[in-house]
Structure 1
Amino acid sequence: MTRIFETPLYPYRRSPDQDAARPVRHPVIVVGAGPVGLALAIDLATQDVPVVVLDDNDKVSFGSRAICFAKRPLEILDRLGCADPMVAKGVTWNLGKVYFGDRRVYEFNLLPEAGHRRPAFINLQQFHFEKYLVDRLRELEAAGKPVEIRGNSRVTGVEQQNDGVTLTVDTPEGPYHVEADWVVACDGAGSPIRSLMDLDFVGRVFEDNFLIADVRMEAEFPPERWFWFDPPFNRGQSALLHKQPDGIWRIDLQLGWDIDREKEKRPENVIPRLKAMLGEDAKFELEWVSIYTFQCRRMEKFRHGRVVFAGDSAHQVSPFGARGANSGLQDADNLGWKLKLVTGGLAPEALIDSYDVERIQGADENILNSSRSTDFITPKSETSRLFRDAVLDLSERFEFARPLVNSGRLSVPCIHDGSPLNGPDVEGMPARTRPGAPAPDAELAGSWLLGRLGGRFQLLTIDAEAPDRIDVGGITVERVALAAKDDASGALAERYLGTAKSAVYLIRPDQHVAARWTSFDRAAVEAAVNRATSRP
């Protein structure tokens, strides 16, 4: 049977743009058909923003690569209409366990509270993830939405004008030129667009190597995240085990810095390492092997004129904490609605500058956490190692020590505190739903709160009166009216009211809170909408 990553999903077809007398102009061109580029294209298409995706490949990624997808990105994918098959295929998990040597020192639950539609994480190979996104893009295309994906189309030139960008695109039938109002580079860590524009990263490269092995085997291990410090099968180093669909297990083994990378990837060297971990009698097959070195870096700016960078092309982090793809999907979530308003003439270009502010904040938060994780996992001095080992010993018996253990602070959504888009706040309401925060879910009678939010500006009212619709300079704000009693569990009141008796929330199209009040005030809402769209 042909494997997914061997099947062309968007093979090259000649485009009418190649036969045009002069370059054809598109509102948005996305370069790169990985998870971030596909998610952004889907988001734009659902909002009726014409978008073309260019990719130098014609199929999904080889190897499982990113596998851990967190609750917030799953909520974003719900809004895009493609989370259900991913969750159905993926391995759901909430529980993690930490080992020191051959002892389990403690475990943790990443989603200890009820009232959320999605789990803390699913594990799903990146090629499955991308396939579901391509399927969704094809659905939209078949429904007449303005989206197109062009395979075997490599961007080899970028020329900026004041009001757009001209790209040179190389194809099996030769190059052609195409124009765009906006170009979004989602072309990965080795971004050709970044290279063509002579841009680079700032940050750290960590001096260590890790072996990734995807192993096919039948095992009775539960669907949990297991992390070892100094295990007996990899002394002085670390290890990680995750379950994936279809009987595949992801194993990460720290190798150290001074190694022969090509030699370590050979099956005759990988298999003894895995048998030391799994047992000499373990039966398994190698599916995919790679060796990676940590990098925690980002571009100084994500917007350069009419070219915007997202995902790994803009920032890179170590894989501990599952922050790479999850952060990239939040980039797409942040950018899509802003491009919609700007290309539609409803917001100034300054709104795209807010993407730079908010997502650089997200990247810095991820880089900080990833750097700290890496420093804890791979201590750079004997003093650091003694401290780490003492913390691990204490964590087995004392709860106070467990937050100090850092086996990869797992991905959480960024709260955009200090964003120029944030409007007013009031005292007495929960901190978790302050302006800049993503709206948390809550189970309602027969539905989920986040299923009713997103894709447009909305007023969420809880035990408060407000008009059903408000027009603010061409932007329609629709009301979602709820009562605290709609949620028998009390999660809605706990997450949105606090000590307040009523609440009015202005929710952005990406389900982040823009502003909140205890009662409706039209002038205040209009001012908050204008601020959230960078309008005077």
Structure 2
Amino acid sequence: MQLPSYPYHQSLEQRSGQPQRRPVVIVGAGPVGLTLALDLARRDVPVVVIDDSDHIGSGSRAVCWAKKTLEVFDRLGVGEPVAREGVRWQRGRVFHGEREAYGFDLLPEAGHKMPAMVNLQQDQVEARLVRAAQLEPRIELRGRHELIGLEQDEAGVTLNVRTPDGLFDMRADWVVACDGARSPTRTMLSLSFTGQVFEDRFLIADVRLAPGARPRGLDPARPERWFWFDPPFHPGQSVLLHAQADGLWRIDFQLGRDADVEAEKQPERIKARVSEMLDGAPFELAWSSIYQFACRRAERFRVGRVLLAGDAAHQVSPFGARGANSGVQDVDNLGWKLAAVLKGEGADAGLGLLDSYEFERIEAADDNIGHSTRATDFISPKSALSRRLRKAALDLAAHTAFAKPLVNSGRLSMPTEHVDSPLSTLDDQAWAGGPGPGCPAPDAPLEAGGWLSEALAGGFALLAFGWPVAVEGVKLITLPGEGLAATRYGARPGSLYLVRPDAIVAARWHAFDAAAVRAALARAHGRSE
């Protein structure tokens, strides 16, 4: 695929010498920043995205895109191409040595538009997002614009930007930092970035097998996630394998904390490791990298009119595909709130909604960091006792059900349940099942065709099971009082759900009360009715 670029050009600010006020400036043109730009543009909010580069980064980097992220991409017009071009999978296998310890299925039930996971190299996902942004008239994508300073006051933020033609100032109502783990914006805000840095190093190798080669039974037609503890081809360490698009396979080798990084970078050393794993089958080494990771987050995700998202706000280990996916979910949470604030939907909407972004996404970051830390501790035990406990869990998992949950090769990305969200209205009646307030709204097929995830369309929606109702300013989706959707929502004829624009449940009732719906809608906007 030919990757698009976003070449430098002089802006209106530079030509006029006067700062132009922008509603939102996004710093960073990676998947997170571009997703937010597309989301805001769909909400009729003009956006400027600045990046110190002018092209998509090299290498596959993030490859696993979870169902929730795919649903966000789908709403923005890129979900179906990503799902079509990537490798769909939902099953995984965990090995101890050569023996399988257990297997899992991320989405055992049918009736969802998007698959559990799609593997597609980050550069190809970014290419889709860049092209979509370049076609959107409300988005201005500026390459080779480096943020070197910012100051804010009650009315907005002034950004000092360096370009090939020198320095100039921009003015914004709001700034969102999506500029990665080394975020200059976070540094300018003097925010601490605390957590745990792991000493273990890992090698990524993207390889392409020779036509017809099937070492270890690898079959592109049946892609699965394979994880080995202590395999014979890499004793004492761990290995992760994923199928990717374009006939590539991603292999992660644990190298240990004492690895000689310079020696391990050598192509011949990498090829020797891969060859041993693939039983000598011929292959091409397409890309490689060595990484060391951390599980940590910023102390705040909002400082006045500047907000942090993605790796600028938090980092996790790559086991579980929680990095890029949680970043996309950050901006899915933020986009509608920022648009509502800019449109003045409620006198105190700014304080309530944007503080709720920080509350909810810090909760999600802590959830992801906890999962990632536990996975890393299991994958890389630090003591003899931990190693013995891990071996016992792996041995038992092959024969007993109770031990399978003890084996942790990375809990795969799932959206966080914000059960304590200040935007939610608590249940006033008992429910037999279904997602409660603060939980993600599940997808389901619609009777007339299409999918519930499509019908939600990024706005507030009222799901009415059994018969229609009406509340001004809220989209109505009428669903059968019985059937798959009703079962997933724990609904009966007459039940209703109020769903937020980020597909999070705001409230639910077993009977319609227009006043209760209006009060819940006001609370979900961060204000009293």
TM range, normalised to the smaller chain? Answer: over 0.9
Match of residue 484 from structure 1: 481
Match of residue 320 from structure 1: 319
Q: Conserved in 1, the CA contact under 8 Å of 2:356 and 2:421?
A: yes
Provide the rounded CA distance (Å) in 2 between the counterparts of 1:426 and 1:494.
20
Identity of aligned residues (%): 55
Match of residue 19 from structure 1: 15
TM-score, normalising length from structure 2? 0.95
> Gaps spanning 5+ residues in structure 2: where?
none
Provide the rounded CA distance (Å) in 2 between the counterparts of 1:424 and 1:260.
54
Match of residue 521 from structure 2: 529
Matched letter for residue 495 of structure 1: R
Match of residue 81 from structure 1: 77
Match of residue 385 from structure 2: 383
Match of residue 490 from structure 2: 497
- Aligned CA distance change for structure 1 residues 444 and 317 (closer, same or farther; 3 Å): same
Q: Conserved in 2, the CA contact under 8 Å of 1:415 and 1:437?
A: yes
Runs of 4+ in structure 1 off by over 3 angstroms are none
Query: What is the DSSP-based 3-state SS (H/G/I as helix, E as strand, rest coil) of the residue aligned with 1:447?
Result: coil
Q: CA RMSD in A?
A: 1.3
Are 1:442 and 2:444 matched, yes or no? Answer: yes
- Report the alpha carbon displacement of residue 116 of structure 1 after superposing the two structures with TM: 0.8
- Report the alpha carbon displacement of residue 197 of structure 1 after superposing the two structures with TM: 2.2
Provide the rounded CA distance (Å) in 1 between the counterparts of 2:434 and 2:54.
42
Matched letter for residue 92 of structure 1: R
Cα displacement string for residues 9-30 of structure 1 (whole angstroms, at most 9, x for unaligned residues): 2111111121224211100000
What is the correspondence of 1:140-151 to structure 2 with a 5 Å cutoff? 140-141=136-137, 146-151=138-143
Query: What is the DSSP-based 3-state SS (H/G/I as helix, E as strand, rest coil) of the residue aligned with 2:277?
Result: helix
Match of residue 251 from structure 2: 251
Q: Conserved in 1, the CA contact under 8 Å of 2:481 and 2:493?
A: no
Matched length: 516
Matched letter for residue 526 of structure 1: R
Q: Conserved in 1, the CA contact under 8 Å of 2:191 and 2:299?
A: no
Provide the rounded CA distance (Å) in 1 between the counterparts of 2:80 and 2:30.
19
Worse-matched range after superposition: 262-271 or 244-253: 262-271
Provide the rounded CA distance (Å) in 1 between the counterparts of 2:208 and 2:327.
28
Worse-matched range after superposition: 60-69 or 344-353: 344-353
Provide the rounded CA distance (Å) in 1 between the counterparts of 2:408 and 2:129.
32
Q: Conserved in 2, the CA contact under 8 Å of 1:426 and 1:518?
A: no
Q: Conserved in 2, the CA contact under 8 Å of 1:215 and 1:285?
A: yes
What is the correspondence of 1:300-379 to structure 2 with a 5 Å cutoff? 300-347=299-346, 348-350=349-351, 351-379=353-381
Matched letter for residue 443 of structure 2: D
- Aligned CA distance change for structure 1 residues 35 and 390 (closer, same or farther; 3 Å): same
- Aligned CA distance change for structure 1 residues 432 and 409 (closer, same or farther; 3 Å): farther
- Report the alpha carbon displacement of residue 464 of structure 1 after superposing the two structures with TM: 4.0
Worse-matched range after superposition: 216-225 or 407-416: 216-225
Provide the rounded CA distance (Å) in 1 between the counterparts of 2:494 and 2:365.
35
- Report the alpha carbon displacement of residue 206 of structure 1 after superposing the two structures with TM: 1.1
Q: Conserved in 1, the CA contact under 8 Å of 2:445 and 2:452?
A: yes
Provide the rounded CA distance (Å) in 1 between the counterparts of 2:377 and 2:494.
45
Match of residue 269 from structure 1: 269
Query: What is the DSSP-based 3-state SS (H/G/I as helix, E as strand, rest coil) of the residue aligned with 1:251?
Result: strand
Match of residue 463 from structure 1: 466
- Report the alpha carbon displacement of residue 343 of structure 1 after superposing the two structures with TM: 0.6
Provide the rounded CA distance (Å) in 2 between the counterparts of 1:80 and 1:484.
30
Provide the rounded CA distance (Å) in 2 between the counterparts of 1:397 and 1:424.
42
Matched letter for residue 236 of structure 2: G
Q: Conserved in 1, the CA contact under 8 Å of 2:498 and 2:517?
A: yes
Provide the rounded CA distance (Å) in 1 between the counterparts of 2:91 and 2:479.
33
Match of residue 111 from structure 1: 107
- Report the alpha carbon displacement of residue 465 of structure 1 after superposing the two structures with TM: 4.1
Cα displacement string for residues 402-437 of structure 1 (whole angstroms, at most 9, x for unaligned residues): 111100000011111100000132444354411111
Worse-matched range after superposition: 319-328 or 415-424: 415-424
Match of residue 397 from structure 1: 399
Provide the rounded CA distance (Å) in 2 between the counterparts of 1:307 and 1:26.
14
